[in-house]
Chains A and B, each alone.
Chain A
Amino acid sequence: MPVVDVDPDELRRLTGAAEKSDEALKTDLFNLGLEYEGETEEGEMQLEFAPDRLDRLSVEGVARSLRYQYGDDRGVYVPKTNDPDWVYEVDPDVPAERPYVTGAVVRGVNLTEQALDSLIQLQEKLHATMGRQRAKGAIGIHDLTMLKGKVLAEDATENSITYTGIEPDGDRFVPLDSDAALTPGEVLTEHDTGKKFADLVSEYDRYPAIYDELGLFSFPPVINGRRTEVSTDSRDLLIELTGTDQWTIDHMCNILCYALDARGGTIEEVEIHYPDATGPYADVGAELVRPNLETEEKEVSHAEIERMLGIELTADEVVDHFERSGLDATYTLGDQTIYTVEVPPYRVDVLHPYDLIDDVGRAYGFNNLEPTYPDVGTVGGRHERTRLEDAARASLIGLGFEDLLNFHMISAAENYDRMRIEPGTDDFGAGEPAVITEPYSEDYTQLRSWVLPSLLMVLENNTHRAYPQDLAEIGLAARVDETENTNVAEHRSIAAVLARNDASYEDAKARLQALCADFDVELDTPAIDHPTFIPGRAAAIVVDGEHVGVLGEVHPAVLVEHDLELPVAAFELRLDALVD
């Protein structure tokens, strides 16, 4: 879940709640769904929250939410925008993988240290969340005074920048945190930030690049040029976002504009000129004006709100709750009261009218609702498979076994090698491994194909504990099987070991016999060879005519491999063999 660092003094200043103590702020924030996790070295509060309200990724957005909660603000707020002065030309050479661009110009921002830190944090957090680590959307923010736009026509006042694609060994520029002029290709191999994000573009034929009259100044989504670096002296900013989805970058841009508006900036629109309205631009059109701060409307009925929350409300109360959530609502009373709700452009979480009911519930206070037990009658019961498993477990425990519970993931070494078997052979337990593509570590590379290896591992890890150690487990085992819809055959297996000074084949078989007798199934134990067991002391478990397991005295080589210094008799069989 995202974490945002918030300076409590800034928060008090931006909300105007100078009198609130840190503790009072924490309680108010918890009620918004922002959980206090601790503080940074600089004394900022670290607040964790679910990734729906991404407008809260900066102190400005958190303050706005608090002002609504306190009732200091009500209803939808949309910043005013000035007409465009800048054009973002998109060249047909732009990389096909990253066709979209958006942005804004913001003038007269008061970038204090804190405001600049907050802007950088917001940019990083938006990259991490909506931007999917910059793959889906990446932000570049530039000092406008360092840019020289291309004048489009002699009589026009508009300036332009160009989003295009260039060869990896194309024009050089000086990236941030560097003194040398590098080509985009060199940035990916020589610059720290470049190396970190190289994977994003390394497959591209042409790399994304943004030019002004003076040359290349941004290499999205990797790094900006040093020429246009933003500092606390910057007053006018140019924001550009590139990405794989227009809606996503437009909304990332909206959240940035709201934050800069709270810092006194004036938002100025920009024009986006795509080459044409075909291909990737068919849905968005050839010419756009951004940022698009228009509100959106959704309808929700009064009956649905009351049904979902389980309470009665008047229409005015509902409107009040909407306004306290930063929304506006109008309604016409009637048989079916329907609210038309206006949603501001920084809300990226409202997909369905239900999302608006959630806002009403939060404004009302979910903890103010009286819980009720639903008046719904149903009949409960256990699944047959777990009833069987429990009955078998009860028999094993009655026979003196300590019940165990081990992991389903295991290494090939434990599952096969240390048991002296090989994958894909006919030996019981040697099924084809269901291999994990990217395992956590070499200890967990596949699903276990049988359960005995887990019990041997428990014995190995408990040689310092009192004997006898009579252990059993009923648990999942799985192997690749292309006749299954999922291509993995899963079954429950019963495994048992007797580790004691005098453990013998007979001891194990006596217990197996008792188990089979409990479930009234017929047991035969014809002799077999199985590498895990001592030759001449291993048998197949055949239940009602079917080969379902293996029984025997564990081979000394397996015991020594597991650092065991006493004999072990063992058996394993499929749980479903006990079904009469």
Chain B
Amino acid sequence: MRLPESQLAVMEAASATDPTSVDSLAEETGLKPETVTRAAFDLRDEGLVSIDETTATSAELTAEGETYLTEGLPEVRLYRAAIEAGATDEPVEMGQLLGTAGLEGSSVNIALSNFARKGYGSIDAGAVSADPDADPDTDSERTALAAIADGESVEDTGLLDQLERRELIERSERTVRSVTLTDDGVTALMEGIEAAETVDRLTPELLTSGEWEDVEFTEYNVEADAPELDGGRKHILRQTADRVKDVLVGMGFKEMEGPHADADFWINDCLFMPQDHPARTHWDRFALDVNPIGSVPEDLAGRVEDAHRNGVSEDGDGYHSPWSREFAEAIALRGHTTSLSMRYLSGYAGADIEPPKRYFSVEKVYRNDTLDPTHLLEFFQIEGWVMAEDLSVRDLMGTFEEFYAQFGITDLEFKPHYNPYTEPSFELFGTHPTTGELVEIGNSGMFRAEVLEPLGIEVDVMAWGLALERLLMLMYGFEDIRDVHGTLCDLQLLRETEVLY
């Protein structure tokens, strides 16, 4: 008979009469306990050994148990303080004793509740009397803790239960296996067993020499955990952005591109935002300390100013707000990517804008908001618009239903809203896929004539915007966006976040 070396070693170390524990076998053979166990099970399957399983209980100290072992049980500390203060003769006020015993917080209650239970004395109306006959040096709980710490076993189960209730120890059970040779095993040993040669690694030499045919490979513990490995992966916010882009490209949208630092003209004036609008004040936007924009298209600037002052169409009114070219030409970080839509719709971005067209971007915008778990100073805005003849608000609703359905958000609600640049305007609300809550998921509308006419657009344009981070938080359930986006990010979180597709 040929057996692998480990199995042969176990056979030779085992006895036919006395069950031998795996630990003893491991010690005797010099093999690892898990190797012995594996070999024993293989031998049992061959009928050469039998395995007995028993359950052994062991106890370990908790952190609290360790503390009491070194510092003394709270009730014992209280007792010793009481003795010192003469509480054997007459009761001593408790507050004083707690101070000398150095007890505070939760250990006060622990001391009081165990003090009387263990016969150290009594507590009445806030005063402590100590029993002179009690002997803290023989406190059975302390003795047991010390024994457990030394790895000795404690047989008194009542005492162990008590210590467990006090959360001073943790008991665990484990299976102890013992191996005994069967009659077949004894016979096989007597007849002689040869050790098969085992190899650890498959080497080029083994392969080329053909030796691999005569060897047995050592078995691995294939269930054991391997070392952790963090591979490269795309940032989850990028993954989310890519998914949004895929959906939009699939719906026929082309991607826009343009400057982050831009003239207010493109960021706000083209959008018919009055220059004294609260969102255009310095505390809402990030102006840059650079010279004003070199140039904006003259004819367009004239038409935009006219729309602000006088409105468009015969019946139209303008704003009763100041308008200055200088204000429009100042450079700031864009507060929305609608500045890109304006550049594209005006034709100055060089793109083909013959209707019909669909355009989008998923790019950063900058707002001087309060930094908190759901608000960043810079975040990604999903921006999209459709330009075509005869679009109605029903087309707008249908487009958004289709888009959000791709992310599991159905039952959209359209709350009539107001934006200076769209009319009608809607805030989009959707049901959170897991919490069922109604959450705001975007802002949309039909661009106003005061926006489109100066740009020279003669057909309808519907548009919408939405924070990518909001979609991300809905999809992943993150509570603090700062863990994900920015230099305070937690690498561990980024490594462990489940991949969504």
A interface, CB within 8 angstroms of B: 30, 33, 35, 50-53, 132, 136, 245, 247-248, 298-299, 307-311, 349-355, 357-358, 361-362, 366-367, 369-374, 376-383, 385-386, 390, 393, 396-409, 434-441, 444, 447, 454, 457-458, 461-462, 465-466, 468-472, 476, 478, 480, 482, 484-488, 490
* 29 contacting pairs across A/B (C-beta < 8 A): A51-B418, A308-B393, A351-B318, A352-B312, A352-B316, A352-B317, A353-B313, A354-B446, A366-B416, A367-B414, A372-B394, A372-B398, A374-B399, A376-B358, A378-B358, A379-B254, A381-B254, A383-B255, A383-B257, A400-B232, A402-B491, A409-B366, A438-B286, A439-B286, A440-B286, A480-B290, A486-B262, A486-B290, A487-B331
- Cβ contacts under 8 Å, A52 to chain B: 418
Q: Which of A366, A370, A444 has the most chain B CB atoms inside 10 A of its CB?
A: A366
Inter-chain contact A354/B320, CB cutoff 8 Å: no
Inter-chain contact A404/B368, CB cutoff 8 Å: no
Check: B467 CB closer than 8 A to any chain A CB. no
- Cβ contacts under 8 Å, A30 to chain B: 415
Closest residue of A by beta carbon distance from B288:
A434
Inter-chain contact A404/B489, CB cutoff 8 Å: yes
- Cβ contacts under 8 Å, A402 to chain B: 230, 232-233, 235, 491, 494-495
Check: B13 CB closer than 8 A to any chain A CB. no
Q: How far is the CB of B94 from chain A (nearest CB, A)?
A: 42
Check: B60 CB closer than 8 A to any chain A CB. no
In the bound assembly, the distance between CA atoms of A354 and B248 in angstroms comes to: 29
Inter-chain contact B232/A399, CB cutoff 8 Å: yes
Within 8 A of A (CB), among B471-490: 484-490
Inter-chain contact A487/B378, CB cutoff 8 Å: no
Closest residue of B by beta carbon distance from A358:
B424
Inter-chain contact A358/B423, CB cutoff 8 Å: yes
Check: B173 CB closer than 8 A to any chain A CB. no
Q: Closest 8 interchain pairs by CB?
A: A310-B392, A50-B418, A371-B397, A52-B418, A310-B394, A457-B487, A397-B232, A380-B249
In the bound assembly, the distance between CA atoms of A400 and B231 in angstroms comes to: 5
Q: Given A361-B424, A405-B238, A406-B489, 12 other A-B contacts at CB below 8 A?
A: A245-B320, A299-B315, A366-B426, A369-B393, A374-B386, A380-B251, A382-B249, A404-B494, A435-B289, A457-B487, A486-B331, A487-B291
- Cβ contacts under 8 Å, A470 to chain B: 232
Q: Number of A-B pairs whose CB atoms are under 8 Å?
A: 283
B interface, CB within 8 angstroms of A: 228, 230-235, 237-238, 242, 245, 248-257, 259-263, 276, 278, 282-283, 286-295, 311-321, 331, 333, 356-358, 364, 366, 368, 371, 376-378, 386, 388, 390-395, 397-402, 413-419, 423-426, 446, 448-450, 484-492, 494-495
Inter-chain contact B257/A403, CB cutoff 8 Å: no
Inter-chain contact A438/B317, CB cutoff 8 Å: no
Given contacts A403-B232, A405-B237, A436-B287, contact A476 B260 (CB under 8 A): yes
Given contacts A351-B317, A406-B487, A486-B331, contact A366 B414 (CB under 8 A): yes
Contact of B255 among A382, A397, A404, A469 (CB under 8 A): A382
- Cβ contacts under 8 Å, A440 to chain B: 286, 368, 371, 377
- Cβ contacts under 8 Å, B488 to chain A: 461
In the bound assembly, the distance between CA atoms of A400 and B414 in angstroms comes to: 44
In the bound assembly, the distance between CA atoms of A386 and B364 in angstroms comes to: 13
- Cβ contacts under 8 Å, A390 to chain B: 242
In the bound assembly, the distance between CA atoms of A353 and B314 in angstroms comes to: 10
Inter-chain contact B364/A382, CB cutoff 8 Å: no
Given contacts A353-B313, A406-B487, contact A380 B250 (CB under 8 A): yes
In the bound assembly, the distance between CA atoms of A361 and B415 in angstroms comes to: 12
Inter-chain contact B289/A437, CB cutoff 8 Å: yes
Inter-chain contact A436/B333, CB cutoff 8 Å: yes
- Cβ contacts under 8 Å, A385 to chain B: 257
Q: Which of B232, B248, B333, B398 has the most chain A CB atoms inside 10 A of its CB?
A: B232
In the bound assembly, the distance between CA atoms of A444 and B484 in angstroms comes to: 18
Given contacts A308-B392, A382-B245, contact A458 B491 (CB under 8 A): yes
Inter-chain contact B315/A298, CB cutoff 8 Å: yes
Inter-chain contact B358/A408, CB cutoff 8 Å: no
Contact of B233 among A397, A466, A478 (CB under 8 A): A397
Q: How far is the CB of B12 from chain A (nearest CB, A)?
A: 44
In the bound assembly, the distance between CA atoms of A469 and B495 in angstroms comes to: 11
In the bound assembly, the distance between CA atoms of A398 and B234 in angstroms comes to: 10
Inter-chain contact B253/A378, CB cutoff 8 Å: yes
Q: How far is the CB of A179 from chain B (nearest CB, A)?
A: 35
Q: How far is the CB of A14 from chain B (nearest CB, A)?
A: 23
Inter-chain contact B423/A352, CB cutoff 8 Å: yes
Contact of B288 among A132, A399, A407, A488 (CB under 8 A): A488
Inter-chain contact A436/B288, CB cutoff 8 Å: yes
In the bound assembly, the distance between CA atoms of A132 and B491 in angstroms comes to: 45
Inter-chain contact A409/B234, CB cutoff 8 Å: no
Inter-chain contact A437/B315, CB cutoff 8 Å: no
Inter-chain contact A409/B377, CB cutoff 8 Å: yes
In the bound assembly, the distance between CA atoms of A487 and B259 in angstroms comes to: 11
Closest residue of A by beta carbon distance from B426:
A366
Inter-chain contact A381/B249, CB cutoff 8 Å: yes
Contact of A396 among B232, B249, B313, B377 (CB under 8 A): B232
Inter-chain contact B399/A373, CB cutoff 8 Å: yes
Inter-chain contact A465/B492, CB cutoff 8 Å: yes
Inter-chain contact A377/B252, CB cutoff 8 Å: yes
Given contacts A382-B245, A409-B378, A437-B288, contact A354 B393 (CB under 8 A): no
- Cβ contacts under 8 Å, B331 to chain A: 486-488
Inter-chain contact B316/A438, CB cutoff 8 Å: no
- Cβ contacts under 8 Å, A406 to chain B: 485-487, 489
Given contacts A434-B261, A486-B259, contact A352 B487 (CB under 8 A): no
Inter-chain contact A374/B398, CB cutoff 8 Å: yes
- Cβ contacts under 8 Å, A472 to chain B: 232
- Cβ contacts under 8 Å, B419 to chain A: 50
